[in-house]
Amino acid sequence: MLFDAGFSSKQIHERLASIGEDAADLDAVVVSHEHSDHVRGLEVLARRTGVPIYLTEPTAGTLAWNKSAPKMEYFEAGGRLSIGDLDIDTFTVPHDAVDPVGFCVRCRGVKLAIATDLGYMTDSVRHHLRGADFLILESNHDLEMLKVGPYPWAVKQRVLSRDGHLSNQAAAQFLANDWDCRAQRIVLAHLSGNNNHPALAQMDAQQALDAVGSTTTELSVAAQDAPTALFQY
């Protein structure tokens, strides 16, 4: 299963092949929202593989297909999907998209939570992240780098808004104050290439883990230009 398809279809095929997987074997692509960095390769990937696309109906309504639309399966934000042996709970996140969602995936007693592209931590998001064994958490920008960076002021306001993106500092605040300390691994994701640095994101999050006395959680940072290590449970 693939969550989002923001790289080109070629890149997705190559990155799957690098971990010994074949895109032709995908059973589903589950889409969080319609922004191009999450759906850029979706149409070509679906056309080449025939994989069904799972998304909300409002999100589907924002997508234009150059050729025939792929096979789509709709779900409602807040509902549950069952695909193969995976149960996937979806939850609404605050972001400037038509119907954006995060995901909690359960299989064989293991829970994976994915929370990226959200402007702040709502009570609902905090609730859904509890009990996660593996947490993929947005750490998009460093506040000072964003403020002095190259983006136009209007874009900076969007990123900083409650429908924008979590900063390093906001992610760290969540880990220090609201995280249940259960996850065996946390991967910081969706880092800005212009307004962040992996060392800054890691430092802020590690300080939060140290503050709550977490010594067993492994922390890593996802890069845009290379796959992470392969995590197995």
Domains and their CATH numbers in the chain:
109-223 (3.60.15.10)
Segment 75-83 long-range contacts (CB within 8 Å, at least 24 positions apart):
77/101, 81/30, 81/54, 83/1, 83/27, 83/28, 83/30, 83/54
Tokens of 94: 């605050």
Whole-model pTM? 0.96
Q: How far is CA 100 from each of CA 18, 103, 119, 139, rounded to the nearest angstrom?
A: 29, 10, 11, 17
Which of the four pLDDT bands, split at 50, 70 and 90, describes residue 171?
Answer: very high
SS3 58: helix
pLDDT tens by residue, 25-70: 999 999 999 999 999 999 999 999 999 999 999 999 999 998 888 9
